[in-house]
């Protein structure tokens, strides 16, 4: 119950729930689909089939990233289950149900991405082909390889039950070893979080730190509480929350590391904080278990109340703490009609040159890519490019603009010198007073 309360008032969930974005329904569908899928795989009750299929389909349609994280985490859960916790006599039935559900999800994701969001599908194919050192970015071989590997790992316990039984004999030894190194590992992890908090406070964090400590530190407190409570979850079946925390947690840390080292050289713009919403349920449960260890009910209630208030303040920070210009979300979460009119004009002119804007201006325009247009991420501030290129410039960029600054550098609006340079060195092809399209 404590974990549920902390989850609901935490910024990684409440931030998305309070506005109309894909995660608004993507994360709830993620949770529903994960719960009912695991229940159907474990129990095999026919009454769960319809609601499981509905939740998975809704998830796929709602948000591509939520669907992909669901597929990864569900597969990891099932592998842990069939290799370590399931009774040997039940492995065959659980494996069959898992292959059907995971296969259905994978097929649905690939089909929907291919039809509706082909630029995401193409990005996935390029990534998989590069990972497998294949030259063709359009090869379907990675899909086949991933499906075969997943199927093989799932049916292996069915084919080699004796080997699985022998492997399970090592589980107590492994858990005993983990228990021995638990305290040093916790100290290292907590020390890393404290170091990140200190670097954030000093303005030397590897990611953008224009937020006040009020926004950052309640989350760090939650992570510290989760690490302290993790030791109690090593026993089956509670270990599932540790697996849940490890997977998106690794993506979060990996995204920060990759972005820090490759941002400047390769302009790789991974937003690691997008993984927080999927990590947060496990963190909330682990942190809640730590608070529940407090024996004094008054102290425990006070701790829960204070933590909830801090989490709420980190989600909706008051102006008195944040300053008048620190929260620019209202400028970028919606697109005025004039901006959409400019994009529509670009489409109607059948202009197939490269179009760019800042990160928020290109978001509604990139849907032109499946039609043959070239809408690309900004590689820098508006400049004269070699060859034919177009820039979408909006009035909003005079107040807030984020071109290639992303979260690695503090974004800043277009200044008067930049605006004058754009007007003098580029041709204004379209202008409706809100948005303009310039040709280089």
With bands split at pLDDT 50, 70 and 90, how would you rate the model's confidence at 385? low
With bands split at pLDDT 50, 70 and 90, how would you rate the model's confidence at 37? very high
With bands split at pLDDT 50, 70 and 90, how would you rate the model's confidence at 323? very low
In SS3 terms, 194-240 reads as HHHHHHHHHCCCCCCCCCCHHHHHHHHHHHHHHHHHHHHHCCCCCHH
C-alpha separations of 310 from 190, 212, 271, 307, 328 in Å: 20, 13, 24, 5, 21
How many Cβ atoms sit within 10 Å of the Cβ of residue 314?
26
Residues 73 and 193 in one domain: no
Residues 98 and 28 in one domain: yes
Question: Do residues 26 and 60 make contact, with C-beta atoms less than 8 angstroms apart?
Answer: no
Among 131, 146, 169, which residue terminates a domain? 169
Residues 152 and 77 in one domain: yes
Residue 378 has pLDDT above 70, yes or no: yes
Please name the residues in contact with 197: beta carbons below 8 A apart, sequence gap of 6 or more.
216, 217, 220
Residue 325 has pLDDT above 60, yes or no: no
Residue 326 placed within a domain: no
What whole-number distance in Å separates Cα of residue 330 and Cα of residue 324? 13
pLDDT of residue 207: 59
Residues 130 and 226 in one domain: no
Residue 250 has pLDDT above 60, yes or no: yes
What whole-number distance in Å separates Cα of residue 273 and Cα of residue 286? 19
Residue 281 placed within a domain: yes
Q: How high is the mean pLDDT of the chain?
A: 80
Residue 372 has pLDDT above 60, yes or no: yes
With bands split at pLDDT 50, 70 and 90, how would you rate the model's confidence at 316? low
Residue 2 placed within a domain: no
Residue 187 has pLDDT above 50, yes or no: yes
What whole-number distance in Å separates Cα of residue 77 and Cα of residue 105? 15
pLDDT of residue 209: 47
Residues 300 and 336 in one domain: no
Residues 247 and 349 in one domain: no
Residues 362 and 307 in one domain: no
Quick one: what percent of the chain has pLDDT higher than 90? Answer: 12
Among 147, 169, 191, which residue terminates a domain? 169
What whole-number distance in Å separates Cα of residue 428 and Cα of residue 413? 20
pLDDT tens for 392-436 read 998 888 888 888 776 666 778 888 888 888 888 888 999 998 899
Q: Name which residue leads in pLDDT, 306 or 253.
A: 306
Question: Do residues 392 and 342 make contact, with C-beta atoms less than 8 angstroms apart?
Answer: yes
Quick one: what percent of the chain has pLDDT higher than 70? Answer: 83
Please name the residues in contact with 46: beta carbons below 8 A apart, sequence gap of 6 or more.
none
Among 285, 318, 351, which residue terminates a domain? 318
Please name the residues in contact with 419: beta carbons below 8 A apart, sequence gap of 6 or more.
398
- Average pLDDT on 27-47 reads 90
Residue 139 has pLDDT above 70, yes or no: no
Residues 58 and 200 in one domain: no
With bands split at pLDDT 50, 70 and 90, how would you rate the model's confidence at 293? confident
Question: Do residues 419 and 394 make contact, with C-beta atoms less than 8 angstroms apart?
Answer: no
Pairing of strands 427-431, 374-375: unpaired
pLDDT of residue 353: 78
pLDDT of residue 108: 94
Please name the residues in contact with 50: beta carbons below 8 A apart, sequence gap of 6 or more.
none
Out of 55-59, 209-213, 363-367, which region has the weakest mean confidence (pLDDT)?
209-213
pTM of the model: 0.78
Place of tokens 């079946």: 237
Residue 262 has pLDDT above 70, yes or no: no
Residue 1 placed within a domain: no
- Full domain range(s) for residue 259: 171-318
Residue 213 placed within a domain: yes
Residues 205 and 62 in one domain: no
Residue 4 placed within a domain: no
Question: Do residues 435 and 393 make contact, with C-beta atoms less than 8 angstroms apart?
Answer: yes
Please state the domain count of the chain.
Answer: 3
With bands split at pLDDT 50, 70 and 90, how would you rate the model's confidence at 319? very low
Residue whose C-alpha is closest to residue 40's, from 110, 105, 106: 105
With bands split at pLDDT 50, 70 and 90, how would you rate the model's confidence at 271? low
Residue whose C-alpha is closest to residue 345's, from 432, 276, 227: 432
pLDDT of residue 2: 84
Residue 328 has pLDDT above 70, yes or no: no
Residues 313 and 377 in one domain: no
Residue 241 has pLDDT above 50, yes or no: yes
Residues 177 and 307 in one domain: yes
Residue 7 placed within a domain: no
pLDDT tens for 114-132 read 888 877 787 777 777 776 7
Residue 387 has pLDDT above 60, yes or no: no
| End-to-end Cα separation, the chain, in angstroms | 58
Cis preceding linkage at 237, omega within 30: yes
Out of 44-48, 71-75, 345-349, 387-391, which region has the weakest mean confidence (pLDDT)?
387-391
Residue 65 has pLDDT above 70, yes or no: yes
Out of 137-146, 160-169, 355-364, which region has the weakest mean confidence (pLDDT)?
137-146
Residues 191 and 61 in one domain: no
Residue 323 placed within a domain: no
pLDDT of residue 266: 44
- Average pLDDT on 301-313 reads 87
pLDDT of residue 318: 52
């Amino acid at each position: 119950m404590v974990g549920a309360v902390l989850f609901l008032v935490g910024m990684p969930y409440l931030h998305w729930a309070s506005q109309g974005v894909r995660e608004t329904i993507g994360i709830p569908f993620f949770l529903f689909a994960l719960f009912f899928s695991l229940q159907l795989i474990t129990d095999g009750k026919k009454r769960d089939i319809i609601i499981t299929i509905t939740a998975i389909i809704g998830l796929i349609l709602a948000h591509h990233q939520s669907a992909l994280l669901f597929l990864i985490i569900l597969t990891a859960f099932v592998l842990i289950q069939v290799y370590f916790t399931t009774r040997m006599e039940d492995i065959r039935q659980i494996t069959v149900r898992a292959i059907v559900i995971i296969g259905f999800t994978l097929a649905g994701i690939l089909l929907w991405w291919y039809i509706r969001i082909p630029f995401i599908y193409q990005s996935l194919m390029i990534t998989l082909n590069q990972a497998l050192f294949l030259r063709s970015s359009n090869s379907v071989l990675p899909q086949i390889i991933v499906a075969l590997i997943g199927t093989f790992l799932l049916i292996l316990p069915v084919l080699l039950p004796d080997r699985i039984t022998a492997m399970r004999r090592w589980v107590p030894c492994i858990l005993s070893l983990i228990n021995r190194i638990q305290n040093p590992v916790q100290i290292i992890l907590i020390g890393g979080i404290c170091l990140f908090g200190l670097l954030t406070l000093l303005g030397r964090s590897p990611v953008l730190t224009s937020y006040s400590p009020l926004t950052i530190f309640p989350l760090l407190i939650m992570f510290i509480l989760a690490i302290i409570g993790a030791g109690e979850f090593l026993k089956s079946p509670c270990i599932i929350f540790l697996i849940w925390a490890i997977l998106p947690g690794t993506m979060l840390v990996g995204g920060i590391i990759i972005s820090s080292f490759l941002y400047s050289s390769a302009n790789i713009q991974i937003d690691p904080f997008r993984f927080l919403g999927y990590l947060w349920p496990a963190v909330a449960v682990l942190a809640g278990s730590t608070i529940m260890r407090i024996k004094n009910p008054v102290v425990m209630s006070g701790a829960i109340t204070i933590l909830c208030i801090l989490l709420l303040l980190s989600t909706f920070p008051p102006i008195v703490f944040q300053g008048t210009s620190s929260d620019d979300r209202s400028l970028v979460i919606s697109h005025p009609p004039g901006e959409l009119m400019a994009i529509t004009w670009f489409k109607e002119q059948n202009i197939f040159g490269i179009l760019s804007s800042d990160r928020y201006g290109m978001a509604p325009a990139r849907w032109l890519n499946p039609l043959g247009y070239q809408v690309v991420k900004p590689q820098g501030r508006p400049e004269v490019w070699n060859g034919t290129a177009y820039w979408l410039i909006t009035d909003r960029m005079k107040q807030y603009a984020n071109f290639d600054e992303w979260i690695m550098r503090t974004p800043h609006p277009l200044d008067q010198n930049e605006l004058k340079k754009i007007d003098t060195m580029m041709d204004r092809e379209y202008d409706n007073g809100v948005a303009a399209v310039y040709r280089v």
